[in-house]
């Protein structure tokens, strides 16, 4: 599981708990790679605490924001897993969806989900829709 984090201090605990609960007793071995994309809030401290308390958590810190794509790439390059799941730290995706998509990976090289119920403001929704069409 790879998640880019940018000023998501208020979401980190819920993201972590959601992933742990979703995978508990369902996947034997996994890692959670959290990539801090130069956050300026308390994300750095929280991520470090998680990594110190849980050996399945790996944290990468950027010295400044390089963007979501760079954060995802760093997470991929530093992951050890055979399968990779990507999830934003904004809590708009349910970690339990990872298991729903795993049933499709047997016959596919790539499985992608799509947000149905966005909680973002309208401008961001419009931008994401245009990106998805592209």
Domain boundaries, the chain: 2-133
Q: Give the pLDDT score at 133.
A: 63
Q: Give the pLDDT score at 79.
A: 95
Largest CA distance in the chain: 41
Is residue 40 within 8 Å of residue 8, measured between CB atoms? Answer: no
Beta bridge partners of 22: none
Check whether domain 2-133 has CATH 3.40.50.970, yes or no:
no
Residue 121 has pLDDT above 60, yes or no: no
| Tokens read off for 107 | 């016959």
DSSP 33: E
Q: What is the mean pLDDT of residues 35-52?
A: 97
Q: Give the pLDDT score at 104.
A: 82
Distance of alpha carbon 39 from alpha carbon 62, whole angstroms: 8
Q: Give the pLDDT score at 105.
A: 80
Which has more pLDDT, 120 or 87? 87
Which has more pLDDT, 93 or 56? 56
Is residue 23 within 8 Å of residue 16, measured between CB atoms? Answer: no
């Amino acid at each position: 599981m790879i998640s880019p984090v940018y000023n998501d201090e208020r979401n980190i605990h819920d993201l972590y708990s959601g992933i742990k609960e979703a995978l508990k007793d369902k996947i034997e071995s996994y890692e959670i790679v959290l990539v801090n994309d130069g956050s300026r809030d308390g994300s750095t401290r929280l991520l470090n605490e998680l990594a110190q308390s849980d050996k399945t958590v790996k944290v990468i810190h950027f010295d400044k924001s390089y963007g979501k794509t760079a954060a995802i790439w760093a997470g991929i390059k530093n992951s050890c897993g055979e399968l990779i799941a990507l999830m934003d730290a904004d809590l708009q995706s349910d970690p339990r969806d990872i298991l729903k998509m795993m049933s499709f990976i047997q016959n596919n090289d790539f499985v992608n989900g799509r947000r149905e119920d966005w909680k973002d403001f309208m401008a961001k929704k419009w931008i994401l829709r245009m990106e998805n069409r592209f």
